[in-house]
Amino acid sequence: MKNIIYKPWLTKGLALLFCLGLSLSACNNVLEDVDDLSNYPAQGTFDDEQTVNAYLSALYSSTFSGWPLNFGNYSNESGGIIGSDWITENNGTMKFWPYDIIRRVNIMLEELPAGQIPTEDQVEMEAQAKFIRAYLYFKMVYYHGGVPIITKPQDLEDNLNVSRNSTAECFDFIISDLDHAIANLPGRYEGGEFGKIDQATARAFKGRVLLYKASPQFNPSNPYDNGYWEDAYQANTQAKEFLDANGYGLLENYTDVFETSQHKENIFSVVYVDPVKTNGRGEDAVRPLSESKNATGGDQPIWALAEAFPMKDGKMPGDPTSAYTYDLQSFWENRDPRFEATLVWNGAAYPLSGKTDRRQYTMSNIALPVDAFGYIIQGESHYRTGLYCRKGIMEELSQELVNTNDVDWPEIRYAEILFNFAESANETGHTNEAFKVLKDIRQRAGIEPGDDGNFGLNDGMSREEMRETILHEKFIEMAFEGQRFWDLRRHRMLDRLDGMRKYGIMATKLNGKAYNEVTPEDINAANNYNLMPDDFTYEVVELITNGPTQMSMPEKYYFFPIQLSHIDRNTNLEQNIGWEGGTFDPTL
């Protein structure tokens, strides 16, 4: 059971906010609806430290969410086909327009200096607010490109028909807010203050922002030789050095990253505490339904992800130089330890709900029907893959308490900073620094170092080979953490998803017997968890056989459209090029 620390600064602040009636949800989007622009916090809100913290806590809650459940459906991590017309100008898919929250941030920044809180106590509050604003603007920019920069709370008498700022102007604005946060926040919050934005958070996030700015997404005509890569390298170098100096680093045990709290790898976390705030992981949707409640099917791994994990010596499955022979019929054997830490397969030990000897089965007529993956269950192939996700699951929770999971969500963790550093190092000629990152990641994972100490990695990789290796390593290290789709998109590699079909791994026979030939004795053996993975025969099967069967990721998805309803209300907003009527260029 993980160590739980109560967070009074967050939970008491939110409670006070609503007790005072300072509801902030009524402020509508200032760029589409002006009905509530006169809605302002109550007089005196910014005169008292407790009410300011309540206001700030509400901004945290509105901005930072938990695990990105099912986001792997958009890439090659989990099941689900993204068909054509997934994103349109009219629908709400992949639209991000949080000007209601930004208005609240701007209110705080405007009113706080005029309040009665001592100036020296305002500094950290203002810096946290500016980080939140930078975070929101950054997400808008990587969704849509340049957007209107609003720094004051708009009123009814203001001109609300604002135009989009250029993408370059938006990046400058984001970096300015982050630099302010870096200059005015303490190095690291710990103990009861853990979960608050600090200098470590701001430095790490600045590295992420500048990595995106340098990326092919924003620089299609000069994807890897533009000058922004040097900026990204410098920022990520500074972030890594600061984090190292302040006690951050990789945990020794990979699974502890997701099952313990307040550790040295979590730089910025969304904190969950039972019973105040729970189920950020969505464990009730990720577990097999036989050990869950209400629904399941979330984050179901596909065969492409299983294939991506190397063997224990770091070589890919089937590589003739590997010390380990790979066979589909024993695909789980001798794999990178992160394979077992991330995936659950047919017959694997999965001790949920206090059942210490429990094994997970997926074969039809052997598994419980709600967990099975087979040809005979109508619609089943759409929601089952033959694999389940183990990452972030609190296995000790009973079925009745499954939604009390309070594992913190690591919004920014040290491993990501290492990958950001490695990418920018590789693109600026520091290949050896990138290579060391990969070895550090693999060493922590438990991969064997080999005689050459390279953990299965090839010496002398070219810049392009190193780029691919970094992206692949991040794919498996950060599976189901909401990174893969965005990584492919910012590298303009969505063509790797376009036209992709998705597959699962099906247990088709038990000791040579098909599903309709199993005996009561076989079922009894399963009920007692006596069947092992190698008692079964496996086939790779396509998941979706009716309706859309192939992923659709057109070129125009590198920048999502501004929702048409926003443009209808504000004719000064230009649509992105590539979308109907689009004239705005979102690239740099």
Do 328 and 182 fall within a single domain? no
Are 135 and 63 within 8 A, CB to CB? Answer: yes
Domain that holds residue 516: 283-399+500-542
| Amino acid, single-letter form, for residue 504 | G
pLDDT of residue 70: 94
Do 157 and 63 fall within a single domain? yes
Position 483 in a domain = no
Tell me which of 270, 296, 329 is where a domain ends.
270
Tell me which of 213, 238, 270 is where a domain ends.
270
Over the range 547-562, which residues count as b (16 or more CB within 10 Å of their CB) and which as e?
Answer: eeeebbbeeebbbbbb
Kindly state the tokens that stand for 210.
């500048």
Beta strand spans in 333-459 (E): 343-345, 348-349, 359-360, 387-389, 409-413
pTM: 0.94
Which of 459, 419, 462 lies closest to 438 in space, CA to CA? 419
Do 312 and 208 fall within a single domain? no
Are 576 and 89 within 8 A, CB to CB? Answer: no
State the DSSP string of 66-129. ---TTGGGGTTSBS----TTSS-SSS-TT----HHHHHHHHHHHHHGGGSSS-HHHHHHHHHHH
Helix axes 414-427, 463-477, angle to 10 degrees: 170
Q: Write out 387-410 in H/E/C secondary structure.
A: EEECCCCCCCCCHHHHHHCCCCEE
State the DSSP string of 236-271. HHHHHHHHHHTT----SSTTHHHHS-S-TTEEEEE-
Alpha-carbon gap, residue 490 to 415, rounded angstroms: 19
- Split the chain (588 residues) into runs of 10 and give each run's mean pLDDT: 37 43 42 52 90 95 94 95 95 97 96 94 96 98 98 73 96 98 96 95 98 98 98 98 98 95 94 93 93 84 98 98 98 98 98 97 94 69 83 95 93 98 98 98 98 97 98 98 98 98 96 96 98 98 85 98 95 96 98
Which of 264, 270, 282 lies closest to 394 in space, CA to CA? 282
Helix and strand element counts for the chain (H, E): 18, 9
Strand partners, 293: none
Alpha-carbon gap, residue 520 to 524, rounded angstroms: 6
Mapped onto helix, strand or coil, the DSSP state of residue 48 is coil
CATH of the domain at 210: 1.25.40.390
Position 237 in a domain = yes
Do 177 and 289 fall within a single domain? no
pLDDT of residue 18: 39
| Amino acid, single-letter form, for residue 47 | D
pLDDT of residue 154: 80
Strand partners, 276: none
Please work out, in degrees rounded to the nearest 5, the angle formed at the alpha carbon of residue 528 by the alpha carbons of 524 and 533: 95
Alpha-carbon gap, residue 582 to 575, rounded angstroms: 4
pLDDT of residue 566: 94
Q: Write out 277-321 in H/E/C secondary structure.
A: ECCCCCHHHHCCHHHCCCCCCCCCECHHHHHHCCECCCCCCCCCC
Position 450 in a domain = no
Are 344 and 352 within 8 A, CB to CB? Answer: no
CA 285 vs CA 40, 71, 228, 258, 341: distances in Å: 38, 13, 40, 17, 18
- Does an H or E element contain 504, and which? strand 503-510
Position 452 in a domain = no
Position 577 in a domain = no
Position 311 in a domain = yes
Mapped onto helix, strand or coil, the DSSP state of residue 413 is strand
Total tally of structural domains belonging to the chain: 2
Tell me which of 270, 300, 324 is where a domain ends.
270
Do 108 and 249 fall within a single domain? yes
Do 253 and 353 fall within a single domain? no
Count Cα neighbours of 58 within 13 Å in the Cβ-side half-sphere.
Answer: 27
Do 56 and 102 fall within a single domain? yes
Are 366 and 507 within 8 A, CB to CB? Answer: yes
pLDDT of residue 293: 82
Do 254 and 139 fall within a single domain? yes
Do 181 and 110 fall within a single domain? yes
| Amino acid, single-letter form, for residue 569 | R
Please give the DSSP secondary-structure letter assigned to residue 41. P
Strand partners, 141: none
pLDDT of residue 28: 42
Do 245 and 290 fall within a single domain? no
Are 197 and 132 within 8 A, CB to CB? Answer: yes
Do 250 and 336 fall within a single domain? no
Alpha-carbon torsion angle 542, 368, 66, 92, nearest 10: 50
User: CB count, 10 Å around CB of 3?
Assistant: 8
Kindly state the tokens that stand for 125.
């509050």
If you search the block for the tokens 């809605």, which residue do you land on?
A: 39
Position 574 in a domain = no
Do 133 and 112 fall within a single domain? yes
Q: Write out 509-578 in H/E/C secondary structure.
A: EECCEEHHHCCHHHHHHHHCCCCCHHHEEEEEEECCCCCCCCCCCCHHHHCCCCCHHHHHHCCCCCCECC
Helix axes 199-214, 119-144, angle to 10 degrees: 20
pLDDT of residue 9: 41
Position 414 in a domain = no
When computed from its CA atoms, the radius of gyration of the chain, rounded to whole angstroms, is 25
